[in-house]
Chain A
Amino acid sequence: MYVGPKLAEFLTRAVEVQSDDDIKEMVGEIGLLLKLPKFALVSHVDLAHETDGVVAISNYPNDWIDRIMSQRYYLDDPLHAASTRRRIGFAWHEAADIITMTRRQHGILEEAAAFGLRDGITVPVHAAGDYRGTCSLGGEHPVTMSPNIVAAAQLVAIFSFEAARRLAYARLGRDRPPVPALSPRHVDCVGLVATGLGDTQIAAKLGLSEVTVHQHIREAMRRYGVFKRPALVFRALFDGQICFHKPY
């Protein structure tokens, strides 16, 4: 196994890119060498809404991208769904083994094939306190998951996604917003809200009065600048102030 000269060159370029076009060119080139010429670097968010620090760079055919956006396929894209179950890259032809795919999801993969995206590798990219995302590399040909290909795809994914995130945050022109400080009691209450308990039940569980629980939750919402409990849970999860554990 070796980090070949082309891959080494790619990794050097990744830190020097200044624009999304640079990224497209760079990933496209390495993709050609891997026989996976089509790529998509995407944060897992609702792309139809403008959000800060979101990554969405791709050289997929424009018609296919239009279809993904207009049909909002990214919301139940089977590759994105499968990527949440994996820590490393997987082949598209393995997706059906990772998740139980719906008919719509099978349909999405078949449609993609018609646009020249017959098989590929999707690599989940994680960063603490940031949007989960994926790097997908695909093309016309079936993919053989040899150790070299898997490892090369992994490095391409990690370095190109970081380059894309760096550019996305630089465009914001400011520091990433700090995580609002919640006291341990706030966190306890928000965590129990997330499980669906009401104030009475939370109070009983924590040995507090209902009024206190209500105040803690209101204070947590105030610190996050949100007005509804689901929004509070969403933000606290995103920041890792509360977390879930896999049930399996």
Chain B
Amino acid sequence: MAHVICGGGGVSEDALYAQMFQERKRVFIDLLGWELPALDGRYEVDQFDIPATRYIICASSEGEHLGSLRLLPCNGPNLLGSVFPFLCDGEPPAASDVWEISRLCLSRSIRAAERRSVRDQLATAVTRFALQQGIQAYCCVADMPWYSQLLSFGWRCEPLGLPQLVDCGMIGALKILITDETPTLMEQAGVWSRSLAPLGELAH
């Protein structure tokens, strides 16, 4: 089930999904060179893209995918628990109120000025999703530049273990704590997208 933000212009969910998986292929396989299979040579889909998976997709009013990310509940299969558990000091998070963020992807065709805005909208939407669903924290596996970016959103991050050097570089597992204070911190960091959610709007 996709949470579509910014309209989508009446384009069907299936069409947006298809664009998302195509864009994931362009970003993760073509651009970043990750060793992932491409379905039909066009789509990047893996064993974690299942019915329980949620997605947040930012689309233009013409129905074009601008950016997206994937959310997996930690009480089910997820990257950190299944593929990267060694990045955690203790057991990887497995509670129903902790979810994992992965495959954050911005369309390669959008320009720099818009990239920042789409990224901020995704960060805002994922925070709103957490506050509305009672999610206490997100976790994710990050390389070092992404780790810095997550901190720059104003999110309170806690490492789940020391970062480690693997084939593709240094990666670390971290937890992002979401509280009532988070929107204000993101506002201070210049990341909260007011067009998506005025600060006073959130009530659960």
Q: Select from chain B the residue with minimum beta-carbon distance to A242.
A: B112
B49 to chain A, nearest CB (A): 26
Interface residues on chain B, size class:
20 to 34
Is A57 interfacial (CB-CB < 8 Å)?
A: no
Given A1-B89, A88-B144, A241-B111, verify A151-B152 contact (CB < 8 Å): no
Is A11 interfacial (CB-CB < 8 Å)?
A: yes
B151 contacts A162, C-beta separation under 8 Å: yes
A237 to chain B, nearest CB (A): 10
Q: Select from chain A the residue with minimum beta-carbon distance to B119.
A: A128
B159 contacts A87, C-beta separation under 8 Å: no
| Contact partners of A175 in chain B: CB under 8 A | 190
Is A207 interfacial (CB-CB < 8 Å)?
A: no
Q: Give A165 to B161 CA distance when docked, in angstroms.
A: 24
| Contact partners of B89 in chain A: CB under 8 A | 1-3
A239 contacts B112, C-beta separation under 8 Å: yes
Is B203 interfacial (CB-CB < 8 Å)?
A: no
A1 contacts B162, C-beta separation under 8 Å: yes
Q: Give A147 to B161 CA distance when docked, in angstroms.
A: 12
B113 contacts A88, C-beta separation under 8 Å: no
Is A43 interfacial (CB-CB < 8 Å)?
A: no
B162 contacts A151, C-beta separation under 8 Å: yes
| Contact partners of A187 in chain B: CB under 8 A | 111
B61-69, B75-83, B96-104, B163-171: which lies at the interface:
B163-171
B122 to chain A, nearest CB (A): 14
| Contact partners of A129 in chain B: CB under 8 A | 112, 116
Is A176 interfacial (CB-CB < 8 Å)?
A: yes
| Contact partners of B145 in chain A: CB under 8 A | 87, 126-128
Is B115 interfacial (CB-CB < 8 Å)?
A: yes
Q: Select from chain B the residue with minimum beta-carbon distance to A165.
A: B152
B144 contacts A158, C-beta separation under 8 Å: yes
A1 contacts B111, C-beta separation under 8 Å: no
Q: Give A159 to B163 CA distance when docked, in angstroms.
A: 13
Q: Give A241 to B173 CA distance when docked, in angstroms.
A: 30
Interface residues on chain A, size class:
35 or more
| Contact partners of A182 in chain B: CB under 8 A | 111, 113
A122 to chain B, nearest CB (A): 13
Contact among A1, A150, A152, A241 for B112, CB-based, below 8 A: A241
Q: Select from chain A the residue with minimum beta-carbon distance to B160.
A: A3
| Contact partners of B111 in chain A: CB under 8 A | 181-182, 184, 187, 241
Q: Give A218 to B114 CA distance when docked, in angstroms.
A: 21
Is B132 interfacial (CB-CB < 8 Å)?
A: no
Q: Give A72 to B156 CA distance when docked, in angstroms.
A: 36
Q: Give A162 to B189 CA distance when docked, in angstroms.
A: 11
Given A1-B89, A11-B158, A175-B190, verify A158-B148 contact (CB < 8 Å): yes
| Contact partners of A181 in chain B: CB under 8 A | 111, 113-114
Query: Which 7 A-B pairs rank lowest in CB-CB distance, beginning with the nearest?
Result: A151-B162, A162-B151, A179-B113, A241-B112, A240-B112, A1-B162, A126-B145
Chain B residues with CB under 8 Å of chain A are 89, 111-116, 143-145, 147-149, 151-152, 156, 158-165, 169-170, 172, 188-190
7 CB contacts below 8 A, A to B, read A1-B161, A88-B169, A147-B162, A150-B165, A158-B148, A162-B152, A182-B111
User: What 5 additional pairs, Cβ within 8 angstroms, besides A166-B189, A178-B113?
Assistant: A130-B152, A148-B162, A162-B151, A166-B188, A187-B111
Chain A residues with CB under 8 Å of chain B are 1-3, 8, 11, 15, 87-88, 125-130, 147-148, 150-152, 154-155, 158-159, 161-162, 165-166, 169-170, 175-176, 178-182, 184, 187, 239-241
